[in-house]
């Protein structure tokens, strides 16, 4: 990352959650150098250019903003995931504590969320037609009733809103889709976002807080925070990635030049 790009990453404060937004169109070949070996191998396996661009953008942006907070090079940052279910090397990305991280991509949009200490989950979805059987698998009975009562033209948006809220919650707890989303009951799409109930043995003991986000045209997004509310700040990930592409010194940097060591919240 260039000095200019690094300066664009403000220090994360306790209780805050930074949201970094970008698009598939922000992908460029230099971002590949920011990924770890596994991330590059996954990029190579993605056949569709659009899927590859989303993957590259999300991983490069997540690694860049997390590394800037930690004062470490993005390319060597460890985000090793450990599956809550089977212990395998997949699932929620785990940066060094107390940094917490979540990202999501769908359609054209990429969002990366960062916090200190508070577990977070973020989800973005493109608003699109959905199959009735999908709604049957994702929504609980009262939610299906609410969705069916919406005018047909509004149902894709209603379903996407339910989906982003549920997936954000399941990503915040680290369960992902190992917990069936129909076990969660959330408020109606037009109502303020809130978890109403969670059935089954995985029901979390701490409160979960939900925030619907502005994801731009054709997309919806939600952030969930596990245990404590967070204060959201919005950031331009597209500009950050463009600065990396324009750099003449290579995409890597070792620390956050805008912050002294004492100011860097996570540096040792
Ligand atoms: C990840 C998941 C929650 C959402 O996927 P999605 O809507 O297709 O994708 P999104 O772009 O919103 O999010 C993907 C990111 O969520 C993160 N993620 C993956 N599993 C996660 C989990 N259990 N908790 C929190 N975050 C998770 C990863 O960073 C992933 O990024 P990557 O695919 O680039 O590595 C869902 O696909 C899932 O739970 N998959 C795993 C199922 C599973 O665990 N099976 C059993 C294994 S034993």
235 CB-side CA count, 13 A = 25
Determine which residue's CA is closest to atom 3 belonging to ligand 1: 176
Determine which residue's CA is closest to atom 48 belonging to ligand 1: 86
**C-alpha 69 – ligand 1 centre gap (Å):** 23
- For residues 103 and 19, give the distance between their C-alpha atoms in angstroms, rounded to a whole number: 9
**Per residue in 175-195, pLDDT tens?**
999 999 999 999 999 999 999
**Per residue in 235-246, pLDDT tens?**
999 999 999 888
- For residues 57 and 68, give the distance between their C-alpha atoms in angstroms, rounded to a whole number: 16
Q: What is the mean pLDDT of residues 61-75?
A: 94
**C-alpha 141 – ligand 1 centre gap (Å):** 25
Note whether 243 and 12 are within 8 A (CB): no
Q: At what angle do helices 141-149 and 155-173 cross, to 10 degrees?
A: 150
Question: Above 50 in pLDDT, residue 257?
Answer: no
Q: What is the pTM of this model?
A: 0.93
The 3-state DSSP class for residue 103 equals: strand
Same fold, 1-118+231-268 and 122-229: yes
Determine which residue's CA is closest to atom 46 belonging to ligand 1: 178
**C-alpha 36 – ligand 1 centre gap (Å):** 18
Q: Under CATH, which number does the domain 1-118+231-268 receive?
A: 3.90.470.20
In the chain, where the domains are located: 1-118+231-268, 122-229
**Per residue in 198-248, pLDDT tens?**
999 889 999 999 999 999 999 999 999 999 999 999 999 999 999 988 876
Note whether 160 and 127 are within 8 A (CB): yes
Determine which residue's CA is closest to atom 13 belonging to ligand 1: 104
Residue 221 has which token pair? 């997004």
Superfamily of structural domain 122-229: 4'-phosphopantetheinyl transferase domain (3.90.470.20)
Residue 63: Cβ-neighbour burial (10 angstroms; 0-12, 13-18, 19+): buried
- For residues 220 and 165, give the distance between their C-alpha atoms in angstroms, rounded to a whole number: 10
Give residue 75's pLDDT.
86
Q: Indicate the average pLDDT of the chain.
A: 90
**C-alpha 120 – ligand 1 centre gap (Å):** 13
**C-alpha 224 – ligand 1 centre gap (Å):** 15
Question: Which residues, at least 6 apart from 202, have a Cβ–Cβ distance to it below 8 Å?
Answer: 173, 175, 179, 183
| 226 phi/psi in degrees, rounded to 5 | -105, 115
Note whether 169 and 179 are within 8 A (CB): no
Ligand 1 pocket list (CB less than 6 A): 55, 58, 83, 85-86, 88, 91-93, 102-105, 121, 123, 167, 170-171, 174-178
Question: Above 50 in pLDDT, residue 258?
Answer: no
Give residue 66's pLDDT.
96
**Per residue in 135-179, pLDDT tens?**
999 999 999 999 999 999 999 999 999 999 999 999 999 999 999
Question: Above 70 in pLDDT, residue 268?
Answer: no
**Per residue in 10-61, pLDDT tens?**
999 999 999 999 999 999 999 999 999 999 999 999 999 999 999 999 999 9
Element (H, E) at 201: none
Give residue 199's pLDDT.
96
Question: Above 50 in pLDDT, residue 95?
Answer: yes
């Amino acid at each position: 990352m260039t000095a200019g790009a690094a300066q664009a990453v403000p220090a994360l404060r306790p209780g805050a959650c930074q949201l970094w937004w970008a698009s598939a169109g922000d992908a460029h070949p230099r971002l590949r150098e920011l990924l770890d070996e596994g991330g590059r191998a996954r990029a190579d396996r993605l056949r569709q250019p659009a899927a590859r661009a989303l993957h590259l953008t999300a991983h490069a942006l997540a690694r860049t903003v997390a590394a800037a907070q930690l004062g470490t090079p993005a390319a060597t940052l460890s985000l090793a995931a450990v599956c809550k279910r089977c212990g395998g090397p997949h699932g929620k990305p785990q940066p060094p504590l107390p940094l917490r991280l979540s990202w999501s991509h769908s359609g054209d949009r990429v969002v990366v969320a960062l916090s200190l200490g508070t577990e977070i989950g973020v989800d973005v979805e493109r608003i699109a037609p959905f199959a009735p059987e999908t709604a049957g698998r994702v929504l609980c009975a009262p939610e299906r009733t609410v969705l069916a009562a919406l005018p047909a033209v509004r149902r894709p948006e209603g379903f996407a809103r339910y989906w982003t809220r549920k997936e954000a919650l399941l990503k915040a707890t680290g369960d992902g889709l190992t917990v069936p989303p129909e076990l969660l009951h959330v408020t109606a799409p037009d109502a303020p976002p809130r978890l109403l109930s969670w059935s089954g043995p995985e029901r979390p003991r701490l409160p979960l807080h939900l925030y619907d986000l502005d994801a731009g045209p054709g997309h919806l997004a939600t952030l969930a925070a596990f245990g404590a509310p967070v204060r959201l700040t919005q950031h331009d990930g597209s500009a950050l990635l463009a600065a990396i592409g324009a750099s003449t010194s290579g995409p890597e940097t070792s620390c956050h030049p805008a912050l002294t060591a004492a100011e860097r919240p996570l540096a040792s």
